[in-house]
A = this chain, B = another copy of it.
Amino acid sequence: MVDGLKPRPLSGFFLLGVLVPIALWFILRPFLDPVPSVPALYTSSGFSILAFVTTLYLVPALGPRFVQANLKGRDLLKTYSTPIPESQGLVCASVYLLSLILFIPFAFSNVFADRFSSQQKSVHGLAIDEFPHHQLSVYLSSIISLMMATLLGFLDDVFDIRWRHKLPVPIIASIPLLIVYFAERGNTNVVVPKPLRPLIGSLINLGPLYYLYMSLLSTFSTNSINILAGINGSEVLQAIIITISVIVNDLLYLPWPIDWRIPLHLLGNQSEIGSEIRIGGVWSAGMAHGSRVLVERHLFSLYFMLPLLGVCTGFLYHNWYPARAFPGDTLCYLTGMAFAVVGIQAHFSKTLLLFFLPQIFNFLLSCPQLFGLVPCPRHRVPRFDPETNLLHPSTVAFERPPSMRTSSTLHLLSLLGLTRLTKHPKSGQIFEATNLTILNLFLIKLGPMTERQLVKVLGATQVAGSVFAFLIRYGLAGLVYDGDRR
């Protein structure tokens, strides 16, 4: 084994001596007075830290068993050919699902409610003492969908399903979600953008089309991460940045305990003693517009996103360049389905799609190859040059002259700077074209770079996409939508 491929060292002191006590404090905090305004959120944070620590330990510990069971792969972009454990997203999925399940009594039983009723509620605004029980079946159906995604992702890893066949697989995993949505008579209305309202009214009931939309959302979120893959850390880094974006968006809707008061009477306004502007109260209900339903939805989303952040961050430590563990399709299925779950159940699917801008771009760029207009080799990852340790754009070679359609598509893409063609100097016939992925595009635009640099560029792009998404969502959406209810 190459020396650099020993499992990365873990700081037992920091993990067990610092993080675990912090996690336990978060879990126990709701049982101490004064009870915080959203007690289950503390528990969820505690579980997420534990999930992080557990994943950090389990991934390297179980690695050899994965290799033994033939779940292993060669790193294509390295000089060595040491087998690396593959499909270890399964470890993440197991830890994630178990923490979601263990969390159930904290969110859905009367553990906290009993304590609340015995003491005066001391928090202003939209303090939520307990998560509504009727949401339990929605929560459970989400777990079932996540579990099906895990199972199907793992089957994909074991049976190596061809990618054309696995495109619709997430639809199967979304069935439990849709069926419970139907059984619970879920809302299938969509708010119409302002310009269209004179034509079709302000609300439109999509009916069965809404279910189609939901199943396509899960297909998109799963596969779009799966096709932006191939270099160390890429899948899980995307997932982490999207997760953080969703978490930030959720936090905007929570009833924060911040309760700043600007005492007006001290500023000379003596007419009304005690008059004050309470920023906490106003801001806490700001994004939620005083809607308890909105707060509940975003809490629901947080309960799924926080532990996901935990397991993904733990996994990234071992998956970072040079990778000691590969995620496999299992991780892409799991994270994609988790995003679909919160987008659907917490009703912010349009905002969610904004966080997928790099994925959407990559998907659109890939379309000519995905749908057969341009030949698609089995791997489209950048080409590794062992001499310089740099990555170069990978190419698809044309043994015979490409058809008219293919070559005009490629010329158009080349004109837009999205691919680089190698042509016969005289006839102009295309010999080679770079593969149509965002990773190759980075290499065309920024020149050859190391794998470590490339994954950082990818991460930076994803962060920039999320910043842009927030600007659109909270800056421009007001032009076409009036409320913030989506």
A residues in contact (CB < 8 Å) with B: 65, 68-71, 90, 97-98, 101-102, 104-105, 108-110, 136-137, 140-141, 143-144, 147-148, 150-151, 154-155, 158-160, 172, 175-176, 179-180, 182-185
Residue of B nearest to A97 (CB): B148
CA distance A105 to B90 in the complex (A): 30
Measured in the bound complex, the distance between the Cα atoms of B159 and A71 in whole Å is: 10
How far is it, in angstroms, between the C-alpha of A401 and the C-alpha of B143 when the chains are bound? 54
CB distance from A185 to the nearest CB of B (A): 7
Contact B141 A180 (CB under 8 A): no
Question: For chain A, what secondary structure do more than half of its interface residues adopt (helix, strand, loop), or is it mixed?
Answer: helix
Chain A to chain B contacts (Cβ below 8 Å), 5 pairs:
A68-B159, A101-B179, A105-B179, A108-B183, A150-B151
Count identical subunits in the complex: 2
CA distance A105 to B185 in the complex (A): 10
Please give 7 more A-B residue pairs, beta carbons under 8 A apart, in addition to A109-B182, A136-B184, A144-B147: A69-B159, A90-B155, A102-B179, A105-B183, A140-B141, A144-B144, A151-B154
Residues of the B chain whose Cβ atoms lie less than 8 Å from the Cβ of A183: 104-105, 108-109, 136
Establish whether residues B175 and A65, one from each chain, have CB atoms under 8 Å apart when the complex forms: no
Q: How far is the CB of A96 from chain B (nearest CB, A)?
A: 13
Cβ-defined partner of A136 (8 Å) among B101, B102, B137: B137
Complex partner residue of A104 from B104, B105, B172, B180, CB under 8 angstroms: B180
B69 and A158 form a contact (CB under 8 A): yes
CB distance from A405 to the nearest CB of B (A): 35
> Pick the contact of A175 from B101, B150, B172 — CB < 8 Å?
B101
Residues of B within 8 A of A98 (CB): 172, 175
Q: A105–B175 contact, CB under 8 A?
A: no
- Residue from B69, B160, B176, B184 within 8 A of A101 (CB atoms): B176
Contacts of A110 in B (CB 8 A): 185
Q: Given A160-B69, A175-B101: A180 and B150 within 8 A (CB)? A: no
How close is A172's CB to chain B, nearest CB, in angstroms? 8
Rounded to whole angstroms, the CA-CA distance of A150 and B108 in the bound complex is 26
CB distance from A107 to the nearest CB of B (A): 8
Cβ of A172: which chain B residues have Cβ within 8 Å of it? 98
Determine the distance from Cα of A160 to Cα of B66 in the docked complex, in whole angstroms: 11
Q: Quick one: closest B residue to A180, CB to CB?
A: B104
**A351 to B137 Cα, complex, angstroms:** 29
**When chains A and B are docked, how far (Å) is the Cα of A110 from the Cα of B109?**
26
Would you give the shortest CB distance from A401 to chain B, in whole angstroms?
Answer: 37
Instruction: Say whether B144 contacts A101, CB under 8 Å.
Output: yes
A251 CB, min distance to chain B CBs, angstroms: 26
- Set B140, B144, B147: member contacting A180, Cβ < 8 A: B140
B residues less than 8 Å from A105 (CB atoms): 179, 182-183
- Residues from chain B with a CB closer than 8 A to the CB of A140 are 137, 140-141, 144, 176, 180
Q: How far is the CA of A97 from the CA of B176 in the complex (A)?
A: 10
How far apart sit A179 and B105, CA to CA, in the bound complex (Å)? 6
Chain B residues with CB under 8 A of A158: 69, 71, 158
Nearest Cβ in chain B — how far from A47, in angstroms? 13
Report the minimum CB–CB distance from A298 to chain B (whole Å): 21
Residues in B neighbouring A175, C-beta threshold 8 A: 98, 101-102
CB neighbours (8 Å) of A137 from chain B are 136-137, 140
Residue of B nearest to A145 (CB): B101
In the complex the two chains form, is A104's CB within 8 Å of B150's CB?
A: no
When chains A and B are docked, how far (Å) is the Cα of A155 from the Cα of B137? Answer: 27
Q: Which residues does chain B contribute within 8 Å of A97, judged by CB atoms?
A: 148
Set of chain B residues within 8 Å of A65, measured between Cβ atoms: 159
> In the assembled complex, which residues on chain B have CB atoms less than 8 Å from the CB atom of A176?
101, 104, 140, 143
Instruction: Give the chain B neighbours of A180 by CB distance below 8 A.
Output: 104, 136, 140
A159 to B: closest C-beta gap in Å: 5
Q: B residues within 8 A CB of A69?
A: 158-160
What are the residues of chain B within 8 A of A148 when measuring CB–CB?
97, 147
